[in-house]
Amino acid sequence: RGAADLSVRGDFDPPAEQAERVVFAAKRLAGELHEGLAADGLACVRLEVAVGFADGHVLRRLWRHEGLSALAVAERVRWQLSAWQGGGAEDVWGGVTWVELAPDQIVPDEGRQEALWGRTAVTDRITRAADRVQALLGHRGITRPMLVGGRGPGERIVRVPVGDLAPAGLPEGPWPGRVTGPAPAVVPASPSSAELVDASGAAVVVSARCE
pLDDT digit string (tens) for 153-209? 777 788 888 777 777 777 777 778 777 777 667 777 787 888 888 888 888 888 777
Given this model, what pLDDT does residue 81 score?
Answer: 85
Give residues with Cβ within 8 angstroms of 202, minimum separation 6. none
Cα separation of 143 and 163, whole Å?
Answer: 9
DSSP secondary structure string for all residues of 39-71: HTTEEEEEEEEEEEETTS-EEEEEEE-SS--HH
What 3-state DSSP class applies to 83? helix
d(CA 142, CA 73): 16
Give all domains of the chain, ordered by start, each with its CATH number.
4-111 (3.30.1490.100), 122-164 (no CATH)
Q: Burial level of 169, CB count in 10 A (0-12/13-18/19+)?
A: exposed
Q: Model's pTM, two decimal places?
A: 0.61
Euclidean distance between CA atoms 21 and 15, whole angstroms: 10
The model's pLDDT over 72-118, given as tens digits with 9 standing for 90+, comes to 888 889 888 876 776 666 677 888 999 999 998 888 877 655 554 45
